[in-house]
Amino acid sequence: MAATSQEKDAESVQHMETSIPQKLEAQEEDPNYDPVYSYKQQRRIIRKIDLRLLPALGLMFGISIVDRVNIGNAMIAGMREDLQLNVGTRYSVALLVFFGSYVLCMWPSAMIFPKLGPRVYLSGITISWGIVTIVSLLPVTHETLLLTSLQVIRIHEMYKRYSVFYLIHNLVGAFAGLLAFGFMQMGGLQGHAPWRWIFIMEGLLTCLIGVFGHIALVGHRKDAHKAWKFLSPSEIDFVNRHISKDAGAQQDEPFSFGAFFKTALDPIVWAYSLMFCCTTTVSYAIAFFLPIILRDYLKFSLGAAQALVTPPYILASITMYVQGWLSDKYRLRSPIVVVNCLAAILGFCLLAWVPSPGVQYLGTFFILSGSQSTMATLMAWQTNNVRGQWKRSFCSASLVSFGGIGGVMGALVFRSQDAPEYYPGIYTALVCQGVNLVIVTVLVLYFKRANRQADANGRIIEGLASFRYTL
């Protein structure tokens, strides 16, 4: 018997009542869905944020690295003779003192930063460090250099953005040697030696970038609509929805010492921190000693040694960005770390045991591409696998603090008395890469097991049922 028109209408209404909620639920589960903005409009807003913030942050981080490693260029420009840093371990001790204060300030910095906001805090410490760098021209003895080194700087969703951030940083660092060589030509002006002009001019450049950062950056996210030609209130609301969906947790949590330091009980945090320490041991050591190795070990001229610092950093920048694109596309981090560690191991083997300057110089390309790219990977990986504003703050602080410890290790194991071969430093760097490989293997096995248990038995990871570890 055929259905009446009333029965058909009833079936139609019932279908709509069931299909509309299902459609809405499907939309909400779509990571690209937003109730206000289309996907194309969302991309436009995010692109606006990237173009506004990433160049400023990258430049500020990059110039901080230049200011940290310019001591290596100053060393071969006459500073070691003038300050007698070629005596014993004086050069390594100067680097050690700087990184000691650097490490101690990381956790207080992580607590202060959210209160002051990026605009005030980051631009302020950048300008301050520029002034300190200029003042560094004053030391005339080994002891006063140590006092200057007691100052500190800390310049700080997706791997691609970390890679762009580090790419700009690497490109700035790539030209540190060329900048130093250019500034050296001012030697004799105002009675200052060439190496002193490196500190003066790079300090002035740091201050200018700090001013640019103050103009480009914004304070807290809720105040972004007040920034010049940036986001509207509606766009800020979208950013809040986007971040909350990605994080799976409420942002702007009230500060609690208990919540902040409770993170210290999570061994995953320290696993990432130890890997970061092992990575920066290599990257800082190479940054500090590469000009000296090129000049004294590989016997390049002064100008060539400072110019040849640039190409390895350029390759590292390209490698980092390509890896960021691939890692985000396939949502994998650990394979990138493994590849980079193997590349660094190959590079150190070439540098240490192949008696050819050309091949040894090639080794520095592998070393820098491996170590620099791993830093961006670890920053992105730990962000993917922790939740909560203050837990992420603690993790970031621990990573950067252990990065500073890596700077200490790099300064101590690449000792002046081991020049020009630096075999103890090279052996330490190889051990560091091996430690990274072991930790990555353990983490991946643990993450896979936890994800399987969450899928099969409903295990709650990081306090969220839908959370899964990124491998």
Q: What percent of the chain has pLDDT over 70?
A: 77
- CA–chain centroid gap for 218, Å, is 20
Domain boundary among 227, 243, 274: 227
439 and 383 in one domain? yes
Residue 132 predicted with pLDDT over 90: no
Say what angle helices 423-457 and 334-353 make with each other, to 10 degrees: 170
The answer to whether position 57 is within a domain reads yes
Q: Among 147-156, 204-213, 338-347, 419-428, which is the least confidently predicted range?
A: 147-156
> Looking at residues 8-14, what average pLDDT do you find?
51
> 422 near 294, Cβ under 8 Å?
no
**Token code pair at residue 337:** 């770390």
Answer yes or no: pTM beyond 0.85.
no
Residues 6+ positions from 258 with CB-CB distance below 8 Å: none
Residue 59 or residue 222, greater confidence: 59
The answer to whether position 384 is within a domain reads yes
219 and 354 in one domain? no
Residue 255 or residue 357, greater confidence: 357
Peptide bond into 55 cis (omega under 30): no
Q: Where are the alpha helices (DSSP H) in 217-333?
A: 233-247, 257-262, 267-292, 302-307, 310-330
274 and 201 in one domain? no
> Looking at residues 2-28, what average pLDDT do you find?
51
Residue 81 lies in domain: 38-227
How much is the mean pLDDT over the chain? 78
- Say what the pLDDT of residue 239 is: 76
Run of H or E residues at 151: none
Output DSSP code: residue 414: S
The answer to whether position 243 is within a domain reads no
What is the count of structural domains for the chain? 2
287 and 220 in one domain? no
Output DSSP code: residue 469: -
Output DSSP code: residue 332: -
Q: CA–CA separation, 320 vs 362, rounded Å?
A: 18
Q: CA–CA separation, 162 vs 348, rounded Å?
A: 26
What confidence tens digit (pLDDT) does each residue in 29-70 have?
A: 566 777 888 888 888 888 888 888 888 888 887 787 777 667
432 and 305 in one domain? yes
Torsion of CA 437, 441, 442, 448, to 10 degrees: 150
Q: CA–CA separation, 201 vs 99, rounded Å?
A: 23
Output DSSP code: residue 222: G
- Say what the pLDDT of residue 362 is: 93
283 and 186 in one domain? no
Q: CA–CA separation, 163 vs 339, rounded Å?
A: 16
Residues 6+ positions from 331 with CB-CB distance below 8 Å: 470
The answer to whether position 28 is within a domain reads no
Residue 249 or residue 314, greater confidence: 314
- Say what the pLDDT of residue 14 is: 54
The answer to whether position 250 is within a domain reads no
Q: Among 53-57, 72-76, 222-226, 366-370, which is the least confidently predicted range?
A: 222-226
Domain boundary among 173, 205, 227: 227
Q: CA–CA separation, 23 vs 156, rounded Å?
A: 41
Residue 337 predicted with pLDDT over 90: yes
Q: Among 122-131, 165-174, 189-198, 406-415, which is the least confidently predicted range?
A: 165-174
Number of helices (H), then strands (E), in the chain: 19, 0
Residue whose tokens read 């038995």? 457
264 and 147 in one domain? no
> Looking at residues 391-407, what average pLDDT do you find?
82
188 and 329 in one domain? no
The answer to whether position 248 is within a domain reads no
What confidence tens digit (pLDDT) does each residue in 253-296 have?
A: 666 666 667 778 889 999 999 999 999 999 888 877 788 788 88
The answer to whether position 87 is within a domain reads yes
Residue whose tokens read 């949502």? 331
> 210 near 127, Cβ under 8 Å?
yes
Residue 400 is part of a domain; what is its CATH number? 1.20.1250.20
Q: In which band, very low, low, confident or very high, does the pLDDT at 148 lie, cut at 50, 70 and 90?
A: very low
- Say what the pLDDT of residue 221 is: 64
- CA–chain centroid gap for 255, Å, is 24
Instruction: Report which of 108, 98, 51 is spatially closest to residue 255, judged by C-alpha positions.
Output: 108
What are the backbone dihedrals phi and psi of residue 38, each rounded to the nearest 5 degrees, phi first? -70, 170
- CA–chain centroid gap for 173, Å, is 13
